[in-house]
Amino acid sequence: MSESRHTPRAPTRTRVLVAGERIDAHHHEDHQIVYAGSGVLTVTTEAGTWFAAGSRGVWIPAGCVHAHRAHGRLDLHLVGLPADVDQYGVTTPTVFAVNPLLRELIVAHTRQPDDGTPERQRLREVLLDQLRAAPQQPGQLPTPTEPRLSTVCDTLFRDPADPRTLAQLGATAGASERTLSRLFRRHLGMTFPQWRTQLRLYHALRMLADDMPVTTVAHRCGWSSASAFIDVFHRTFGHPPGAHNRRRTSR
């Protein structure tokens, strides 16, 4: 990642980004909550990419160099929090669940600038209470640095519908299935099937944000059928992919 801007305080505000718009690499002295009220948000660091939409947000720890990108029209809600509010004790971003109450608190907190009133302080305390109860969720694509792993991951990133098994992919990367399985767990912290599912969901969210039909998304992302895609999507995000665009346009 290129040299970053240093912004001492993480802003608390709402910002609208058009599809494809980016916020270049930067970092803050504060922690930051980033939530997409509509569209799909990706947060990228040298360690990987985190993605969230609708029922999920991203926690960005203080000092972490990161960049944003919008997929679809993005209503970006940013909440800055002091560095002593350490929600997850991590040095890289993490995705967390956003229930309906936490979503409304984030939106309300970013609607107006902080005026220091008692009402504003109480709103912030309730938001922090809800945040403390928000569990972490999957939503990360780690960046591999091991060459053989990079070859496999880059191949599938270019074509998530590639049907080849890990053994078949390993033949092109010069590594056995057993070796690659070990590398996935050691370097990326997940199994190959887990990583592949995350990759396909990442691409699926981006395509849905561009209003692509569900059946087309399922095919292009490598699911055997639209029903298989719908099942995985619903179990992961709590709603079917057909409802994804309706949820973001109704807000």
Whether residue 166 is predicted with pLDDT greater than 80 in this model: the reply is yes
β-strands 5-7, 22-28 pairing: parallel
For residue 3, what pLDDT is reported? 61
Whether residue 35 is predicted with pLDDT greater than 80 in this model: the reply is yes
- Do 199 and 159 form a contact (C-beta atoms < 8 A)? no
Give this prediction's pTM.
Answer: 0.90
Burial class (CB in 10 A: 0-12, 13-18, 19+), 135: exposed
In which band, very low, low, confident or very high, does the pLDDT at 239 lie, cut at 50, 70 and 90?
confident
- Do 203 and 53 form a contact (C-beta atoms < 8 A)? no
- Mean pLDDT computed over 190-217: 96
Closest CA to 140 of 216, 60, 83: 60
Domains of the chain with CATH codes: 5-140 (2.60.120.10), 144-249 (1.10.10.60)
In which band, very low, low, confident or very high, does the pLDDT at 249 lie, cut at 50, 70 and 90?
very low
